[in-house]
Structure 1
C-alpha cells in the first residue's frame, strides 16, 4: 500500500527552529498532561508535535504496522513560512529539502519525498524546486496561493514553468481559512481546509492552467475539497457564461481527470464517488498521518493512481 499524503519533520528542521526561535516566534506549549507539546510558529496554526512527526524509527515502525509499503513524505504546512522574509523561507526550505533527501535516499524502498519552496518569490521557488529535484525529491508541496495572489496568476509563472520542465509533482495543500465566520467549533479545520482547496482547484481549472502547463502533476489534498461534488454547477456555468468558458478547451468536468486527488476523505462512499468522477487512475491513497484527523491506515489501495502519478 502507498501513502501519498503524510508529513514528517527531520531533526535538522527542529534544530533550525530552535536556532531561529526568536526570529520566527516558535513556541513549544504544554496544553494537556497526556499530550506532547504543541508547536506554534508566529502565532499561527498550532499542532501537537507527536513523536511520529520527528522520530524516523518510530515513523517507519508505524508505517510497517499499518501495512504501508511506501510513503511519499511532505513537509508540514505550518512550516511553509510564507509570512516571513524570503531569506528565512529559503533557508528553512533548503534545510528541509536536503534533510528529507538524505533520509529518503537511505530508505528508498520505503520512502520518497516532496520538498518545500519560498513561494513568495516564484523565481527563487523555481530555483529551489530545481535543486530539490536534483537531490532526488519528486516535487514539492505548496499552499493554495498567497493572500494577494491565486496560483493561476502570472506572478507564479517562473515557478510553474520550472515545474512543467521538471515534470514535477506539485502537491497543493490548504492552509487554514481566515473567514471570521469559521472561528468556532474547529470549523477552520473541519470545513475551512477543504474550502481553501476548493477555491484553489476551481481557479486552476477555470483558468486553463493545466493546458498551459500540461507536464505539472498537480495533486490536491483531501479529495479535492468540494470541487468534484459541485462539478455539475461548473459545467452549467460553462454553458451559460462566456467568462467561465473562455479559457477552456472542454467543459470543466472533462478537466477533473487532469489532476490527481488523495483519498483523505474518511468515508468509503465519498471515495467511491471521487473515483467515479475523476477516474481510478487519478486517485491516490493518502492518510495525513500523523495529524489528528489522519485516516490511518490510508483509505483504499489504488495502485493505478499511484503508478500514474509516479510514472
Structure 2
C-alpha cells in the first residue's frame, strides 16, 4: 500500500464559480478540453488538468504511479489569503465541499484535506469545525505564511490549537506570493523560494515557543521540510549561543524537529535516507505533489532507491505514518 499525502485538486465547484464570475474571483478559465488553463490576476498560470477536478482522472493517475490512497488537498492558488471575509469563506466552502464530492465519488481511494481562510482567524476555526463535522476530514492544509505573516503569530494560534483538539493534522505548504530578491529568474521562486518559506516558518514556530504551547499539534511539512532538516545543526547551535534564539523557548530545535512529520518529496535518495535517519521513518509519508510539473511521478521508484531501507522503514514511509496521521491505524506492521 502507498498513501500519498501531497496530491492537489481544484474541484469542479470552484472551477465553475471562477468561470462564471472571473472578476469576483480575480481569475479566469481559458481554452477548451485538455488545453484549459487557469489564469490568475496575480500573474500565475497553470494547466487545468482533468486530475485536478475529476475523481476518475485522479485515480487513473494514482494507478499509473502505484498509489493506493491519496489525501487530496487544494492547490495553493485556492488559498485566497488576500480576499475579504465574504470571498475567502465562499472560496473555502466551494473548495472543501468540492473535495468532499471527489472523496464521496471514490471513498475507498481518496481522503479529504480542507483549506481555511487563515487571514480571518474566527472564520478559519469555524470552517475547520464544519468540515470535520460534515465531511469527517482529518487534515487541513495551510500556507507556510499568510500574505507575509508568520504562522507563529498569536492570531493563528486558535486555529492550530483547534486542529490539535480535533485530531486533525496540519499540512503546511508554501505558495507563490511574488518573487523575492535574487529569485526572479530560473523558476527559483519555486525551486528555492518554496523550501525557504517552509524553513522560515518552522524556525519561527520553534524559537517563538509556539510548538511548546501546542504539544499535541501534528504538523506535516511539504517538500521534505524545506531546508530545515539539513541545517538543523545550525539552528541547534544558534539556540545554544544566541540569546535571540533561546530567549523564549528552552526546547532544543533538535527535540522539536522530532515532533514534526515530513513528506518524501526531496528528489534525492540520499537526502531521503538522511531524513529517515534524522527523524525516523515513522515521521515520513509519501508525497508526490501531483499533478504539477514539480511532482514525483515515480514514488515507488523513489522509495526503492533509498539506500539501506529496511522493511519496517518502507512500511512506515509507504503507508504506516499516513495511516497513523489519518487515525486509520497504528502505523505499525
Asked if 1:156 is matched to 2:156, the reply is yes
Moved more, 44-53 or 197-206: 44-53
Distance 1:237 1:88, change over 3 A: same
The separation in 1 between residues aligned to 2:258 and 2:45, in whole angstroms, is 34
Shift of 1:12: 1.3
- 1:306 maps to which residue? 322
User: Which stretches of structure 1, 4 residues or longer, exceed 4 Å deviation after superposition?
Assistant: none
Moved more, 164-173 or 40-49: 40-49
The RMSD of aligned alpha carbons is 1.9
Shift of 1:124: 0.7
Asked if 1:220 is matched to 2:221, the reply is yes
- 1:66 maps to which residue? 65
Moved more, 100-109 or 68-77: 100-109
Normalization by structure 1: what TM-score?
0.93
Specify every segment of 5 or more residues in structure 2 that has no aligned partner in the other structure, as ranges.
304-313, 328-333
- 2:311 maps to which residue? none
Check the 8 A contact 1:205/1:255 in 2, yes or no.
yes
The separation in 1 between residues aligned to 2:185 and 2:78, in whole angstroms, is 24
SS in 1 for 2:155: helix
The separation in 2 between residues aligned to 1:39 and 1:64, in whole angstroms, is 26
Shift of 1:148: 4.9
- 1:120 maps to which residue? 119
Question: Residues 66-110 of structure 1, C-alpha deviation per residue, up to 9 Å, x if partnerless?
Answer: 211111000010111111111111001011111212331342221
Check the 8 A contact 1:29/1:38 in 2, yes or no.
yes
- 1:43 maps to which residue? 42
Moved more, 73-82 or 164-173: 164-173
The separation in 2 between residues aligned to 1:227 and 1:274, in whole angstroms, is 10
The separation in 1 between residues aligned to 2:130 and 2:224, in whole angstroms, is 29
Check the 8 A contact 2:55/2:106 in 1, yes or no.
no
Check the 8 A contact 2:51/2:291 in 1, yes or no.
yes
The separation in 1 between residues aligned to 2:207 and 2:95, in whole angstroms, is 33
Listed as ranges, the matches of 1:12-31 within 5 Å are 12-29=13-30
The separation in 1 between residues aligned to 2:89 and 2:281, in whole angstroms, is 36
Question: Residues 127-149 of structure 1, C-alpha deviation per residue, up to 9 Å, x if partnerless?
Answer: 00111111211121111122352
Distance 1:57 1:29, change over 3 A: same
Question: Residues 216-238 of structure 1, C-alpha deviation per residue, up to 9 Å, x if partnerless?
Answer: 21111100100001100011111
Moved more, 233-242 or 176-185: 176-185
- 1:167 maps to which residue? 167
- 1:246 maps to which residue? 247
- 1:81 maps to which residue? 80
Shift of 1:34: 12
Check the 8 A contact 2:72/2:113 in 1, yes or no.
yes
SS in 2 for 1:181: coil
Normalization by structure 2: what TM-score?
0.87
- 2:97 maps to which residue? 98
Check the 8 A contact 1:2/1:70 in 2, yes or no.
yes
Check the 8 A contact 1:26/1:39 in 2, yes or no.
yes
The separation in 2 between residues aligned to 1:2 and 1:242, in whole angstroms, is 42
- 2:191 maps to which residue? 190
Moved more, 68-77 or 40-49: 40-49
Distance 1:99 1:200, change over 3 A: same
Shift of 1:310: 2.3
SS in 2 for 1:152: coil
Moved more, 141-150 or 268-277: 141-150
